[in-house]
Amino acid sequence: MKSLICVAFILSLASMAVAGELFGTILDAGKPVPEGTKIEITIAGKTFTGATDKLGTYSVFAAEKGKGTLTAHYKNQKPTADVLSFEKANRYDYSVETVDGKLTLKRK
């Protein structure tokens, strides 16, 4: 039984070594987006989700590495931005901007 627990623990550590954290803040007109704003990060066809806190801060762990897309579900729209996931944490801060009536995410 102990060996099974040890194997499970080692495998969980190995999976964490591949996972990357993507975090940051999303502001609209200099103010945080509402708490609970859904954040999705899609990499290699897999989607990882999170939500903002009251300060507009999000943190999502992605079990995939590589180029992906961050989507914020905000004001009945889904503005997106490109992201990269690595073994180490990556910070992406954005401001929401309106272009031709459509919300966009601009990296700060």
- Given a cut of 60, is residue 8 above it in pLDDT? no
User: Where is pLDDT greater, at 62 or 15?
Assistant: 62
Exposed e or buried b per residue across 57-92, where buried means at least 16 C-beta atoms within 10 angstroms of its C-beta: bbebebebeeebebbbbbeeeebebebebeeeeeeb
Q: What is the pTM of this model?
A: 0.81
| Strand, coil or helix: 19 | coil
In the chain the domains, ranked by start, together with CATH numbers, are: 2-107 (2.60.40.10)
